[in-house]
Amino acid sequence: MYKEKQNEFYAHISEDRLRFQTVLEHLEGTADLASKFAASFDAQSKAYLAGMLHDIGKYSKAFQRRLEGSSEKVDHSTAGAKEAFAMHQPEVAFTIAGHHAGLPDGGCKFDTAENSTLLGRMKKNIEPYSQWKNEIHLSNKYPPQNFPQDSYSSSFFTRMLYSCLVDADFLDTENFMSNGNIQRSGYESIPQLLKKLENYIQPWWNPKTELNHKRCEILRNCLDSGHTNEKGLYTLTVPTGGGKTVSSLAFALSMACEKKMDRVIYVIPYTSIIDQTAKEFSKILGKENIIEHHSGIDYTIDENSSEDERKKALAIENWDAPVIVTTAVQFFESLYANRTSRCRKLHNIANSVIIFDEAQTIPVPYLMPCTAAIAQLVLYYGVTAVLCTATQPALDSLFQKAAPNLKIKEICDNPQKLYEVFRRTKLQNLGEVTKEELTQRLQSAAQVLCVVNRRKTAQDLYSKLTGEGNYCLTTLLYPEHRKRLLDEIRARLKANLPCRVISTSLIEAGVDVDFPVAYREETGLESILQTAGRCNREGLRKIEDSPVYIFKLSGQSKIKMLEQNIESLRHVLSKFDDPSNLDAIENYFKFYRNLKGDSALDQKNIIDGFIHGVQGNIFPFATLAGRFQLIGNETYTVYIPLEDGVQLIDQLRQGIRNRTLFRKLGKYGVNIYPDHLKKLDMAGKIEWLDDKQVAILTDAQCYDMNTGLSMDVETDNAFFI
């Protein structure tokens, strides 16, 4: 294939081996796309350089033999990295070096050619590739970027540049291999989507109740602010029941339309509530315009897939769609990732409006890197970010550290007044109570919600209740079972039938229920206010008739991970008559973070790692990507052979393994901690598949249809949701 006389070098050959793409064609196609992608943050020239250099290693005879079928290994990405490094373009060098295997660590000057770091690879001997100079002539002048030249900002820029290159590389290759037959566009424009939203909310503008009147005020505020305000960092502080989901979407679409921004990204903390948000947006904007990206969604395509399904499967790869609904895990872990699959979409975050729903749930150990990333996006990548919550976590001081000149603006007028209007419950501190006293209180109420911190506590309290209409909701129930029980609970509440629910905090995660009275075991104030949002939700009762009791359960051992939350709660209860007002909420978060200390806000030393390196290793992209995991892997899934789970587990036993099967199985899985799993295993209740990678419950008697998977003892990890 290598045609020395014609001096033709190929980058790709079609599967039928009838069509050829030259290296030059691929480099130019990739460079043009990468430059286009980087335009939103003024990095066109560097992105173009990365595109033109990324595959110059394919000008080697060894790579051409590889295309012909040789089995020899060929390193074709180091060549372009070496050229960029020699041109004093380190960000481009990193980007090229990692465009297949992932962004490497920078390393140190003592690294050798055997090290996989960038500095190590710069010493590596590779196959000659000098023919590239006969076809490619590059400029030596590249304008400086518009961000400060500190190591953290440079690392962030490198990852954004990397995204431009890898997406462009994938797309140009895909276009050639498919002979131009793969289509990725066809969505409605942002102005069209805004018009759909306006049509949807048109009937709302003549409200009949005071609450709906206030909801319309919030909605109008958001629409007007989106049209008139500049890009930047915002808070949207709306009480529970204020309609913040649609209002925040209204702000996002109106600003995106006004500022000619590319998309809206809605970041949600829990997969358990992402479905209802996506369904609401689909109802407003059309499901064909909404892309969900999280662990619970599967866009596997085959010959029977519709055009819409194919388009969504492609859009998940790079978020090239007008509205993305995703999780905080997917969003933030991607921003600190080093792999192509995770980073490919990052450039499409630029010039977007990002709504962070329930912003107070950003995990404390990652608060600093998360706020620093948001600040970078707002300051240098054309992003508008909105921290949307009923309990603003008072992040001003953290943003001041990350970006002293970045100001936070509130979208709603007079949020304190809104809280007075939407206040539908009264928080009351019961102090310490025994299980017997609490049980008597719950038993005497016809309809009541009680939220506790431990799954074992929930099961114990439930076992003490008598009569009909009693429920126990914990994650020891598989999701499909929980969903069915929640439907029963809503039906009983609506029919005014007895309904006593003992739950862990899972019911606080966007579950739409309305109780006349609620009890909440001591925990963080933000969780208590979430429980309060499940009491008198529609404001149909008087505030004094809708109490939310805070209690300490006697005889309970402390939960280490909640100690500082509880101490902060007690501090606020001692200082404020109404712990639900905005001053109390702000005081709570500030007191809590002071207790934790600055080091606890970046527990994995992500920021310091990029600024100072890790043990002499500069720009440790791979190392820190491994550290940045918002959710640990301390739990294990046990699949329950009940209902449709029986047939799905049979498929596992038959050796079937695919994403679609595991997504369906997720509805019949219970996540438990290691010692709980060990106990079940030692009792012979677990069947293992795939060398102890997949666990199946073998004794159906270990699963109670009222309380879920049996759990006789507490674990050291005592905090369960």
User: What is the bridge-based pairing of β-strands 105-107 and 618-620?
Assistant: antiparallel
Closest to 239 (Cα-Cα) out of 448, 423, 75: 423
Average pLDDT over residues 279-292: 93
Residues 297 and 410 in one domain: yes
User: In the structure, what pLDDT confidence band is assigned to residue 5 with cuts at 50, 70 and 90?
Assistant: very low
Residue 568 CB coordination number (10 Å):
22
* Average pLDDT over the chain, rounded to an integer: 91
Closest to 92 (Cα-Cα) out of 139, 129, 23: 139
Burial 170-188 (b: 16+ CB within 10 A, else e): bbbbebbbeeeeeebeebe
Residues 163 and 215 in one domain: no
Residues 404 and 434 in one domain: no
How many angstroms separate the CA atoms of 32 and 712, rounded? 62
**Which of 390 and 325 is assigned the larger pLDDT?**
325
Residues 454 and 571 in one domain: yes
User: In the structure, what pLDDT confidence band is assigned to residue 719 with cuts at 50, 70 and 90?
Assistant: very low
Q: Which domain holds residue 390?
A: 190-414
Torsion of CA 57, 61, 65, 68, to 10 degrees: 80
Question: Is residue 604 situated within a structural domain?
Answer: no
Q: Answer with the one of 579, 603, 625 that is the final residue of a domain.
A: 579
**Domain containing residue 164: CATH number:** 1.10.3210
**Is residue 721's pLDDT more than 50?**
no
pLDDT in tens, 491-506: 999 999 999 999 999 8
**Which of 653 and 309 is assigned the larger pLDDT?**
653
**Is residue 299's pLDDT more than 80?**
no
Residues 226 and 97 in one domain: no
Residues 136 and 270 in one domain: no
Closest to 164 (Cα-Cα) out of 321, 324, 346: 346
Q: Is 258 exposed, middle or buried (0-12, 13-18, 19+ CB in 10 A)?
A: middle
C-alpha 346, offset from chain centre? 13
Average pLDDT over residues 345-373: 95
Residue 266 contacts residue 357 (beta carbons within 8 Å): yes
Residues 244 and 383 in one domain: yes
Report which residue type is found at 174.
E
Question: Is residue 48 situated within a structural domain?
Answer: yes
Q: Tell me, what's the pLDDT at 144?
A: 74
Helix (H, G, I), strand (E, B) or coil at 528: helix
pLDDT in tens, 177-192: 999 888 787 899 999 9
**Is residue 295's pLDDT more than 90?**
no
**Is residue 140's pLDDT more than 80?**
no
Tell me which residue has tokens 């404020």.
Answer: 576
**Is residue 4's pLDDT more than 60?**
no
Pull the structure tokens for residue 279: 């369904």
Closest to 549 (Cα-Cα) out of 575, 581, 516, 571: 516
Strand partners, 352: 263
Residues 232 and 341 in one domain: yes
Q: Tell me, what's the pLDDT at 298?
A: 61
Question: Is residue 555 situated within a structural domain?
Answer: yes
pLDDT in tens, 142-161: 777 777 789 999 999 999 99
User: In the structure, what pLDDT confidence band is assigned to residue 659 with cuts at 50, 70 and 90?
Assistant: confident
**Domain containing residue 239: CATH number:** 3.40.50.300
**Is residue 558's pLDDT more than 80?**
yes
- Helices marked H in 206-258: 210-228, 244-258
pTM: 0.90
Question: Is residue 30 situated within a structural domain?
Answer: yes
**Is residue 397's pLDDT more than 90?**
no
Helix (H, G, I), strand (E, B) or coil at 320: coil
Question: Is residue 508 situated within a structural domain?
Answer: yes
Residues 450 and 566 in one domain: yes
**Is residue 713's pLDDT more than 50?**
no
Tell me which residue has tokens 């009909």.
Answer: 468
DSSP structural state of residue 104: P
pLDDT in tens, 257-267: 999 999 999 99
How many angstroms separate the CA atoms of 219 and 236, rounded? 11
Q: Tell me, what's the pLDDT at 174?
A: 95
Question: Is residue 599 situated within a structural domain?
Answer: no
Q: Answer with the one of 153, 177, 201 that is the final residue of a domain.
A: 177
Strand partners, 649: none
DSSP structural state of residue 8: B
Residue 458 contacts residue 449 (beta carbons within 8 Å): no
Q: Looking at the 3D structure of the chain, how many domains does it have? A: 4
DSSP structural state of residue 414: -
The angle formed by the CA atoms of residues 656, 657 and 661, to the nearest 5 degrees, is 90
Question: Is residue 450 situated within a structural domain?
Answer: yes
Question: Is residue 286 situated within a structural domain?
Answer: yes
How many angstroms separate the CA atoms of 395 and 403, rounded? 12
Residue 324 contacts residue 355 (beta carbons within 8 Å): no
Task: Give Cβ neighbours of residue 65 (< 8 Å, ≥ 6 apart).
Answer: 2, 72
**Is residue 120's pLDDT more than 70?**
yes
Q: Answer with the one of 121, 154, 177 that is the final residue of a domain.
A: 177
pLDDT in tens, 35-90: 999 999 999 999 999 999 999 999 999 999 999 888 888 999 999 999 999 999 99
How many angstroms separate the CA atoms of 527 and 710, rounded? 26
Closest to 26 (Cα-Cα) out of 171, 181, 180, 184: 171
Residue 540 contacts residue 241 (beta carbons within 8 Å): no
Closest to 251 (Cα-Cα) out of 385, 408, 137: 385
Q: Tell me, what's the pLDDT at 303?
A: 65
Q: Tell me, what's the pLDDT at 147?
A: 72
DSSP structural state of residue 587: H
User: In the structure, what pLDDT confidence band is assigned to residue 3 with cuts at 50, 70 and 90?
Assistant: very low
Least confident range of 190-204, 216-230, 601-615, 650-664: 650-664
Residues 433 and 523 in one domain: yes
Average pLDDT over residues 516-544: 92
How many angstroms separate the CA atoms of 560 and 343, rounded? 35
C-alpha 706, offset from chain centre? 32
The angle formed by the CA atoms of residues 74, 79 and 81, to the nearest 5 degrees, is 125
Residues 272 and 138 in one domain: no
| C-alpha separations of 39 from 46, 138, 610 in Å | 10, 19, 25
Pull the structure tokens for residue 78: 């180091």
The angle formed by the CA atoms of residues 72, 74 and 78, to the nearest 5 degrees, is 165
Residues 363 and 275 in one domain: yes
Pull the structure tokens for residue 150: 């500190």
